[in-house]
Amino acid sequence: MKRNVRFAGVSEPIKKRLRLATNLLEAYDLRVAMQEWDGTRCDLLLVQDGDSYGQHAMLSAQRRHIPVLVFTSDLRPDDAGLSWLPESFQLPQLVRTLARLLGSEPSPGRIESTGLLCVAGDQHLRGQNFEARLGPHVIRVGAESGRVTANTLSDLLAARERIASGGWSFTTDRAPGLAGEVSSSLDVFFIRGALQLADELPRFPAGLYRLRGWPDLGSAPDLVNVLQLAGGLLRRASRAEELASRSRMGIAEVHACLWAFRAANLLIAVDERGSHLPHEAPPAPDAHKNGLLARLAARFGLQSS
Partner 1 sequence: MDNNRLNTLKLVIAGPVGAGKTTAIRSLADMEPVSTEMALTDGAMGEKTTTTVALDFSTVLLDDGTPLLVYGLPGQERFDHMRPIVISGAVGVIVLLDGSDAKVTTDCEHWLDAVRSIDPTLPVVVGVTKTDTTANFHMGQLREVVQRSGLPIPVFTVDARDREQTAHLVRALLVSLG
Binding site for partner 1 (CB under 8 A): 143-147, 177-179, 183, 185-186, 211, 213-214, 216-222, 224, 227-228, 230-231, 234-235, 279-285, 288-289, 292-293, 295-302
**Minimum distance of partner 1 from residue 218's CB (angstroms):** 3
Residue number with CB closer to partner 1 (115 or 215)? 215
Residue number with CB closer to partner 1 (125 or 186)? 186
Residue number with CB closer to partner 1 (167 or 285)? 285
Residue number with CB closer to partner 1 (146 or 207)? 146
Angstrom distance (rounded) from CA 280 to CA 54: 43
Angstrom distance (rounded) from CA 77 to CA 267: 14
Residue number with CB closer to partner 1 (56 or 235)? 235
Residue number with CB closer to partner 1 (1 or 284)? 284
Angstrom distance (rounded) from CA 99 to CA 93: 10
**Minimum distance of partner 1 from residue 240's CB (angstroms):** 19
Residue number with CB closer to partner 1 (44 or 148)? 148
Q: Are 229 and 238 spatial neighbours (Cβ–Cβ below 8 Å)?
A: no
Three-class SS state of 162: coil
- Strand 147-150 and strand 44-48: the pairing is unpaired
Q: To the nearest 5 percent, what fractions of the chain are helix, strand and coil? A: 35, 20, 45
**Minimum distance of partner 1 from residue 220's CB (angstroms):** 8
**Minimum distance of partner 1 from residue 182's CB (angstroms):** 9
Angstrom distance (rounded) from CA 261 to CA 121: 9
Three-class SS state of 45: strand
| Torsion, Cα of 294, 297, 301, 302 (10° steps) | -80
**Minimum distance of partner 1 from residue 43's CB (angstroms):** 36
**Minimum distance of partner 1 from residue 297's CB (angstroms):** 5
Q: Are 87 and 15 spatial neighbours (Cβ–Cβ below 8 Å)?
A: no
Q: Are 279 and 234 spatial neighbours (Cβ–Cβ below 8 Å)?
A: yes
Question: How many residues can be counted in the chain?
Answer: 305
CB hemisphere CA count around 176 (13 angstroms): 27
Q: Are 256 and 221 spatial neighbours (Cβ–Cβ below 8 Å)?
A: no
**Minimum distance of partner 1 from residue 77's CB (angstroms):** 24
